[in-house]
Structure 1
C-alpha cells in the first residue's frame, strides 16, 4: 500500500457509491466481522468493521486500500491482512477517530506507509 491507502484499488470490483454496510469481511485467514460503516469519498475511503465476539466487540478501521475484492453477490469484502494484523491495529474509537487526522496517519503507518512493517505492505 502506498499513497493510495485511502482509495479502493481499481481491481477490487468496488463500485463508487455502493453500500457495503452489513457485508461480511474476510481476512486472508478467515472471517473477522461485518462492515458497520464505510466511506467512499475519493482519497478518503475506509471501512469500519465490527468484529463482534471475535476480538471482544472491538471495532477496527481499515483503509480502503486494504480491500482486495468486493463480492456483491455474496455480500463479502476481502482484505489483504491477517486476523492477527487487524486485531493488533491501533484501537478505533468512533467518537473521536473518524475526524482525527493524527489517528488516520497512525493507521496509515500501521498498514504499511513507513510504519512498523518497514514501509511496505504487510
Structure 2
C-alpha cells in the first residue's frame, strides 16, 4: 500500500491549526527530542525535531506521515519508526531551508506496514 508520507494519517489525533512546537517526540523505542518547527502545508507537511543531546543537538525534518498519534493532553507525538531509523535522517539546516522541502527531503527510507 502506498500513502503520502507528507500528509497526516486519517487518525493521528492532530487538529489542524494546533501549534505542535515544544511537543515531545517519541519513536517506538523512546524519546528523540522536541518539535522545533512544523508545517501543515498540503502535500508537504513536516515537523522539525530538535534531537538535543540524543544525537548531538541535530535538527531533523520528518514527514508527518510517520506520525501515528498526536496526544494534545500530554503534548507528545508518537512516531511509527525506531530511534535508529531517525538517527540517520538528513540534518535540517534552518539557514538553508526554502520552500523546496520536497526536493531536499522527500527521499526517506520507505515505510513498512
What is aligned with 1:87?
A: 87
- Equivalent residue runs for 1:20-35 within 5 Å: 20-35=20-35
What is aligned with 2:55?
A: 55
Q: Is the 8 A contact 1:24 1:33 kept in 2?
A: yes
- Equivalent residue runs for 1:1-122 within 5 Å: 2-100=2-100, 101-105=102-106, 109-112=107-110, 120-121=111-112
Deviations 1:69-122 (A, max 9, x none): 0000000000111111101112221222443342123xxx2231xxxxxxx538
For normalisation by structure 1, the TM-score amounts to: 0.83
For 1:18 and 1:97, the matched residues in 2 are separated by 22
- Secondary structure of the structure 2 residue equivalent to 1:102: helix
Report the structure, 1 or 2, having the larger helix content. 1
For 2:67 and 2:28, the matched residues in 1 are separated by 11
For normalisation by structure 2, the TM-score amounts to: 0.89
Aligned length, in residue pairs: 112
- Secondary structure of the structure 1 residue equivalent to 2:44: coil
For 2:45 and 2:3, the matched residues in 1 are separated by 12
Q: Is the 8 A contact 1:111 1:121 kept in 2?
A: no
Deviations 1:17-42 (A, max 9, x none): 11100000000100000000001122
For structure 2, the 5+ residue unaligned runs are: none
Aligned-residue CA RMSD in angstroms? 1.7
Deviations 1:45-87 (A, max 9, x none): 1000000011000000000100000000000000111111101
